[in-house]
Amino acid sequence: MKDIGRELLGRSPFTVAVVYFGFGIVWVPAIDRLLATTVATAEPTGAAGLAGGWLLVALSALVVYGVAAHHYGRADDARRELETSNQQLQVLSRVFRHNVRNDLNVVQGYTNLLEDRVDDERSRRYLETIQETTDDVVAISEKLRVVEDVSPTDRTRVNLVDVVHEAVDDVRAAGVDITVETPSEAWIHADRSVGYPVREVFENAIAHNDKRVCRLDARIDADSSAVCLRVRDNGPGIPESEQAVLRAEEETPLSHASSIGLWLVKWMCELHGGTVRFDVTDDGTTVQLRFRATKPGDAGTVGTADGGRTDGGRTDGGRTEGKKTDGGRMDGKKTDGGRADGRA
């Protein structure tokens, strides 16, 4: 029945009405004959009765045609509107990523030249502001390019543990204390671009943290159906207004997110078949990224966000704990409880 429904939805309203009418013409005498053979008191309907039934079918076929034509018209309008919107987005994205970025590169170049010609401190601060602003806009264009280049059909298998460790290595800096707790491996159905939303979660938590020491706790939990990454920080938390925007999936002049970062996390996770959840408390924010679990070992497996492979031996307890060393990395060190300290 589902296949028949899909087939009919692809037909014109006239075809749908004709199919309905033909089915009704056959159905009326068939039901009449069935009742006559199964019900003792029922008698076959005469020619007048069949004609009345066929007339009812013809009238209802006209109604079916009208309803189908109305809905097909609305669907066609929505399709054209969607195609126009997609075309507009493609043009705007191309203009922003290429034309605007090229202009910003020119601004950055002249700013660098002016730095060598400006002597007073006030002018240098102005130039630094210009440089920081242009850098931010260029960074946004790069993030939008990542979203545009993702293809949901190219997903293979990725070890999320490797992705998290790479992200931690990229964002680790002075004043940032990161602890990572993961199993030895956690395979998800995704491609190497899944590293971008993971890294964005860490970068966003660090960038908006107002504490003297930014503390991040990352943990991966995996079972046979799903893999969940939780990143908890000690920052001020995501404002409720921004959470509402993400839940509504719509921005307005009075309700909008302060940056593209949270949208990037949401879009990229959903493109990989995952979900995002934000839990905000007085102690900070916990971002939860949930992906569909898969099994390793098949062809096309991607080990890291950059396409590399890593071979990780499983510890006795099958889990790892992050323990910070003097060099700012996590060393693997077996503990008494059958767990191991994981590197980041």
**Which runs of consecutive H residues, i.e. helices, occur in the chain?**
2-9, 13-38, 47-94, 101-115, 121-149, 160-171, 195-207, 240-248, 261-271
What are the structure tokens assigned to 241, written together? 């207004």
3-class SS of residue 52: helix
DSSP code of 274? -
Task: Count the Cβ atoms, other than its own, within 10 Å of residue 229.
Answer: 27
- Give Cα 344 to chain centroid, integer Å: 25
Instruction: Name which of 218, 195, 144 is nearest 304 in CA terms.
Output: 195
Residue 335's pLDDT is 35
Residue 308's pLDDT is 38
Residue 9's pLDDT is 53
Instruction: Name which of 224, 181, 202, 191 is nearest 304 in CA terms.
Output: 191
- Which amino acid, 167? A
Residue 344's pLDDT is 36
Rounded CA gap, 273 and 296, in Å? 18
Please answer whether residues 343 and 201 qualify as being in contact, where contact means their C-beta atoms are separated by less than 8 angstroms: no
Residue 309's pLDDT is 38
Residue 313's pLDDT is 36
Q: What is the pLDDT along the chain (344 residues), one digit of tens a residue?
A: 444 444 445 578 888 888 888 888 888 888 777 777 777 666 666 777 778 888 888 898 898 888 888 888 888 888 888 888 778 777 777 777 778 888 888 888 888 888 888 888 888 888 899 988 888 888 877 777 777 666 666 668 899 999 999 999 998 887 889 999 999 999 998 888 889 889 989 988 898 888 888 999 999 999 889 999 999 999 887 777 676 666 655 544 433 445 677 888 888 888 888 999 888 888 888 999 999 998 866 545 444 444 333 333 333 333 334 434 333 334 333 333 333 343 33
Which residues make beta-bridge pairs with 232?
217, 286
Task: Note the CATH architecture for domain 152-342.
Answer: 2-Layer Sandwich (3.30)
Task: Indicate the pairing of strand 275-281 with strand 214-222.
Answer: unpaired
Domain edges within the chain: 1-149, 152-342
Residue 233's pLDDT is 93
